[in-house]
Amino acid sequence: MDDRPQPLMVSEPGSFAAYTVAHRMPRIVNDVLARHDYPPEIVASLTHLRATLPDGRVPAPDPQLPDAAYWHGAWAPWEGATWRALPWFFAETYFYRLLLESVRYVAEGPWHGVDPFGPPKRAALTEGLPELAVFVEALHAMTERAEHFARWFHRALWGNRADLSNVVVSGGTFDAAVRAGVLVDHTAEVWTLVSQGLERVDVVADNAGPELLVDLGLIAFLLEEGLVRQVHLHLKPTPFFVSDATVPDFRETVAALERSSQAGVRRIAARLRDAEAVGRLTLHDHAFWTRSLFFTELPADLRAELAQAGLLILKGDLNYRRLLEDRHWPPTTDLAAVTRSMPAPFVTLRTLKSDVIVGLPPGQAEALTAEDPEWRLNGRRGVIHLVR
């Protein structure tokens, strides 16, 4: 008997899922159209995708594309259904797959490999560099490695506060955010694990721009301090969820770090270049990260790869949803109890931008709702949750 809670559905009245399909997804299509001088056939394809939202039938995937077999299998149970009938996780991931199909990202031709979200990613990268420079400069006053680590780790958490698909938070000091918003904070426990020295840490990235800048700074710190011998960085194989980081985004970010006027920021780039050259930093872009799959459905090759890590650092809201199968778990649910299938110890660094949340003590969720009815969605709270 399956006693798991029901998955989040687009059909839930007043839900963030329903709002996204009806309002955010059409806006994302409009933004892509506005930023690119696409030919008429791509404009028509994007316009058709937008017109299906939210009450039209969900389109089938193009059978000619390389990933068609997987997506046809995922779509088939919902053939003939409208977007409102779908599980939320599938609806969101499949929307981005259809958008890439519409802009001919995978198909041969002049638009092959052109990131539809490239312009806002580049703008966010430019905006994030001065903030990183200020942060790196402030670290010079700190001498304790544990303090450096805690600062990088919390910065990596709050770098996830807003992504380009759903900019929900701005303003406020870093310290104030740390004090007020971290609902589960296992930073000290993670430091105890890392400070003993780990052979390998795998980082599963989330957003490009300011978040990836900080993630790369954290990676450089771990490598330089000898806390980790190898870091394996997992990126998306294609653009996804507007701002998710790909291998080209990584290359562009390192190049931007090298161009910084601040020496400490340039040193991050040098550490990364050197580490990649000698095999201490390795990049991966498995197809799993852009499919409508949960961590309980890890393919065998990726499971074997992740099992070699002494610690997985899982960034962002989407990876958190993958952990919990995007279900209506009670907030007091034990994260360790429902993630026993994970192949290695992990810590999730996630700011709350969707409904799913576990690991809270009794009464805390209710108190937060009374204080701030949008606390699950507005990015003002986060978790640093370690599961050994």
Shared domain for 68 and 190, answered yes or no, is no
Shared domain for 21 and 133, answered yes or no, is no
Kindly indicate the confidence band of residue 229, based on its pLDDT and cuts at 50, 70 and 90.
very high
pLDDT of residue 217: 98
User: Distance between alpha carbon 198 and the CA centroid of its chain, in Å?
Assistant: 24
Query: Which is nearest to 185 in space by CA: 224, 142, 156?
Result: 156
Domain that holds residue 38: 16-102
pLDDT of residue 84: 98
Give me 75's structure tokens: 């779509």
Average pLDDT over residues 71-81: 98
pLDDT of residue 164: 47
| Mean pLDDT taken over the chain | 94
pTM (two decimals): 0.95
Asked, for residue 108, whether it belongs to a domain, the answer is no
Rounded to whole angstroms, the Cα distance separating 90 from 75 reads 9
Shared domain for 270 and 379, answered yes or no, is yes
Rounded to whole angstroms, the Cα distance separating 161 from 272 reads 24
Shared domain for 37 and 136, answered yes or no, is no
Among residues 42, 70, 102, which one ends one of the domains?
Answer: 102
Give me 348's structure tokens: 């999730």
Identify the residue whose tokens are 């969900």.
58
Element (H or E) spanning 231, and its range? strand 228-234
Q: Is the confidence at residue 166, as pLDDT, over 70?
A: no
State how many domains the chain has: 2
Among residues 51, 74, 102, which one ends one of the domains?
Answer: 102
Average pLDDT over residues 212-238: 98
Helix axes 118-139, 210-224, angle to 10 degrees: 40
Shared domain for 96 and 125, answered yes or no, is no
